[in-house]
Structure 1
């Protein structure tokens, strides 16, 4: 039974959907110009809207849009409390780097098509693809309307693709505003969010609102798994484990005798500045945990652990696809307990900081067709801890052999979410699916930005992996600005190269890993590294695409890094525990022995 170490809360029904109308986006005592525009133009000319909350509480921007599919155009309106200028951007990772921006200046009543590849003033695009339709500046409000093609074909513009299915991540967007006559540094006058421009299940808007609406309809309940007011240490890097046994989950309200599917995950983040990442593992172990402790060896030897969910900066709620869920409760292949592993970063040595972060898992008894799994690629267990990244620009390729999918995949699988992860020196990353020696597809992030999206979800639809496919995971790092050598490791300023492919139906792969120096030879990835003199970007420059072995992209971080001497990490302890016997190795793939 979980004792004083642990804490969680539960509710019997799903969260209520957001019901804020556009007329309520801004405070009633100042919103008259905006409400007047809504009545005269907004409600008749635009089909969808969302409010992007700003950094300062009570401030933000309203965004309205209509997709004209016949003309392949988007009509956009942006409203902000400002007198000088306002900007709105499509951001690959959720920040300025790699963003496509439209700017409006009140003094000249003009708009500018711009872009940014650094955290500096946006550059004017040579091709001006936005057309101003209407603008007004009244009583402290700027409102402008404009349109452009969904896909302009301009390398300085980001295409607005279809995101009307939950398997496709929403578009990350940014906004800023100010009172100066021309665009200048915005300070705290900024907002960021994730928008669905196309309705998913008849819902559009911010991902948080769309998710809440969907869970209100589909989920029968939820459970909150929360860190109980943990005092964050003064160490730069701190790992803390939190465990919930099968009995704990039942006491929290999980139906004891009903097979369930988890259909949604919502991060509940308290100290965002200090939470470097949070990952959750599930197990079929239904025994008691001694005094609420995280007895890794006992759990590993009793059925193994599998990654089920993760959070890093910029994380948003996400829904499972209609076809699949994560099994919970009774059943041979269902999870019956959870491990949460927290990584805290306190390089600033802030004192008196506590954290009560966690995750809300939404469930239903209406079981879906498939159970979902996660395939971890690159170096997910950090077997390369202590190995140097290299100096300057360097590329690392991890090659998961075809033997892994040949041996473990009973059938073709559908990948519905592809997530890319590095740390602060990571710049560009891609995955390639290789079939019979031919690259079938590539998914990449042009401008990786850990602080904005530490777990970067590639915006794309579903695709398939077949038995016999191999997978290349490539990470490009830039250590030019580092005064100390950068290594692979578990520290906040060490590096990682990991990719997560969320898929269905679930296959029996040892720990779901095909990674560097892995204990299971069929799924042991080889690593090749090479220094590179330059990087080829797709966005922000005239494209010059190299061959398939080339590099698309990098971005330079300016933070000094260090490699700390740390205790053996959670995942390595699990691997070590399971490596003690052959039987344990076979059981490590949750669900039983390999086929």
Structure 2
């Protein structure tokens, strides 16, 4: 086992995590900034002089159903910029209303020391085209994609031209079109890393992975002596062995809470020979899942680690998903942290919400949509949270392969509020996300985590469990100040579930009975729509079995079986009235009302913490200096353009050269997209005058 430190690797990874840049392909880069209503999007593309490029969005990354803005040239040499959708047959259909506004473009000469310059598209005479345009996040048009917080699937296509017309073009043709998809959080908060923090990494060391499809491997570490003093974790992320990105599914670091010495043991987590004392390693310090980037804590909160009375032992748990049962996989993956001895105002904590890790909750087969909900009931928060409550500032939603949509809501006085929602969730992109609006949770509030699944391609029941072909529904929420509550999750009460099995046997002749296990009963049922619907009714109306637990694994005082369901009188409604009442005055009025609300009012949302201005100014200066040093890092691609109109030359050359503006004199200069990122996009509006331009034909290059 090894605690491995790589300062350069950490600085590089965390520096680029805050930039709103996505490298879609070696020949295609997109960068952007957003405010409350508008996205300004910048595209750099290496394409042939006659070729076209389209970038846009779809629900889950497929081209059919996608919404694209396409830059293209017709056979006469004229350039167009067109808003299109893609039909189920893969044909481009020009939209009735153009929402791709104000496009400006310029050709950029690609400079390279290589004699033979060719890019992936294999076209000769390849220039770099750069263009910028704007698009509303919500267009209120059924033909257009709504850009919302959560996972965004960015789709793209590059094809040969020129074209006689764009409408009717088959975008799925592999002969002359290249396509792809990337996932990102399009609407994001930029958090500045703390340059004074030091790196600390816990990893396995040259571990031979089992050929089983699912393996949980545990390793115990002892913290260095510097942790005799309390520190704060300011950010953390994954350290994945190259080539194992598809095998390492998720990881957790647990604190071993006991005054005794712990053996530095490693092995499969369920090993019967594992020391009994390892059951004391239960308190979650950090959690990561596939697709997640680094997570940065807000400036006034950090994860406490070390200090007097703090047990120096931690346990790393890694879930390896190996569906192909490959052999010979060697892995040294783990979690990396940045720590600071400069303590912040609050200690942060992690709370597990959702469903218990058992097989009592299940998803029937051949279901287009089926929802499971895990509850953190008011009876639990009432006895476990401080009187002043806690503030949730981060969230990591988690399911396995069947999950399609996940959300957590807060229920106070029967009214439901959103905490976090991902309408286009992907198990391959499970980020730890800072909330745009932190949520204040009080004792007596309830928290509901709901996961929508699709099992159309599954022939039998999908049970809850640890394997990837089984399912989970979890939200790891990050909050401050730290409380004793560690787990607040539920499942259907066992007695109610067996009553359901008994009713199926008596009323419908199903081969279920009280002597079979839960799994045996579920797999004995011949599933149809009625039985699936009845199971869903049981889950929403039956009583609950609750886990209301401390980090030690001990339950809080209370009765945690036969717990009533959470009563929701006024359900949360999606913010669809943006389109029904689409006017700027209403939006401004809502924002003014929201800012007037205090934490004692009904609304649970709290403003972002006020920053320590001198400290934040220093951090921002150091962060910008670090980005400047890394300016021209990638030698073989052109994604290092830091400023609009910068040629591919080293930074010293640029310092001595006046940049030439390739736009015509009457065209507006476009600012650097990486500057002036709005920290809280709910505080500003956008000028509608920017959307007065009409679709127009531009001159040729």
Deviations 1:252-286 (A, max 9, x none): xx624321001100211220111122222223446
Contact persistence 1:266–1:360 (CA under 8 A): yes
What SS does the aligned partner of 2:362 have? coil
Q: Report the alpha carbon displacement of residue 11 of structure 1 after superposing the two structures with TM.
A: 5.1
Q: Please give the residue correspondences for 1:72-83 in structure 2 after superposition, counting only pairs within 5 Å.
A: 73-83=38-48
Cα offset, 1:135, TM superposition: 3.1
CA pair 53-130 structure 1, distance change in 2 beyond 3 A: closer
| Number of equivalences | 464
Gaps of 5+ in 2: 109-124, 162-168, 268-273, 492-544, 548-554, 567-572, 581-701
| Aligned ranges 1:474-489 → 2 under 5 Å | 474-489=450-465
* Bigger mean CA deviation after superposition, 89-98 or 439-448: 89-98
Structure 1 residue aligned with 2:239, among 255, 265, 268?
A: 268
State whether residues 380 and 488 of structure 2, in contact with CA within 8 Å, keep that contact through their aligned partners in structure 1. Answer: no
Q: Within 2, Cα distance between the matches of 1:422 and 1:327?
A: 28
Q: 1:528: how far off?
A: 7.7
Q: Distance in 1 between matches of 2:476 and 2:14?
A: 34
Q: Distance in 1 between matches of 2:403 and 2:89?
A: 16
Query: CA 1:331–1:305 in 2, change beyond 3 Å: closer, same or farther?
Result: farther
Change (3 A) 1:19 1:358: closer
Evaluate the alpha carbon distance shift between residue 369 and residue 378 of structure 1 in structure 2; reply closer, same or farther with a 3 A threshold.
same
Alpha-carbon contact 1:376-1:500 (below 8 Å) kept: yes
TM-score, structure 2 as length reference: 0.58
Q: CA deviation at 1:351?
A: 3.0
Which residue is equivalent to 1:257?
A: 228
State the 1:89 CA deviation: 3.8
1:173-252 equivalences under 5 Å are: 174=154, 176-181=156-161, 183-184=171-172, 193=184, 200-201=191-192, 214-215=193-194, 217-219=195-197, 221-245=198-222, 249-250=223-224
1:278-335 Cα shifts (integer Å, max 9, x gaps): 222223446543353475631444xx52112222221111101112111111134x56
Provide Cα deviations, 1:476-519, integer angstroms capped at 9, x if missing partner.
Answer: 2222221232111111111111122211101112x433333345
Call closer, same or farther: CA 1:346–1:518 in 2, change over 3 Å: same
Look up the match of 1:133. 103
Give the number of the structure whose residues are more often strand, by fraction: 1
1: CA distance, partners of 2:430 / 2:14: 30
**Are 2:399 and 1:404 aligned?**
no
| Deviation for aligned residue 1:143 | 2.5
Distance 2:404 2:562 in 1: 22
Partner of residue 62, structure 1: 29
* CA deviation vs aligned residue, 1:115-164 (integer Å, no higher than 9, x gap): 68999788765542112522356742333221233554446333477xxx
Matched residue, 1:422: 399
**Equivalent in 443, 456, 468 of residue 444 of structure 2:** 468
Correspondence list, 1:306-345, <5 A: 306-332=283-309, 334=310, 336-345=312-321
Give distance in 2, aligned partners of 1:472 and 1:97.
33
Q: What does residue 408 of structure 2 align with? A: 431
Q: Does 1:413 align with 2:399?
A: no
What's the counterpart of residue 666 of structure 2? none
Q: Is the 8 A contact 2:61 2:155 kept in 1?
A: no
SS at match of 1:462: strand
CA change 1:493–1:218 in 2 (3 A) is same
- Residues in 1 aligned to 2:307 and 2:414: alpha-carbon distance in whole angstroms: 42
Separation in 2, partners of 1:120, 1:8? 50
- In the alignment, is the contact (CA less than 8 A) between 1:274 and 1:345 conserved in 2? yes
Q: Distance in 1 between matches of 2:88 and 2:285?
A: 34
Residue 502 of structure 2 is matched in structure 1 by none
**Rounded Cα–Cα distance in structure 2 between residues aligned with 1:460 and 1:94:** 24
- Answer yes or no: is the 8 Å Cα contact 2:228–2:308 preserved in 1: no
- TM superposition shift of 1:523: 6.3
Structure 1, unaligned runs of 5 or more: 1-5, 22-47, 162-168, 202-213, 530-535, 544-595
Q: Which has the larger radius of gyration?
A: 2
Q: CA RMSD in A?
A: 4.0
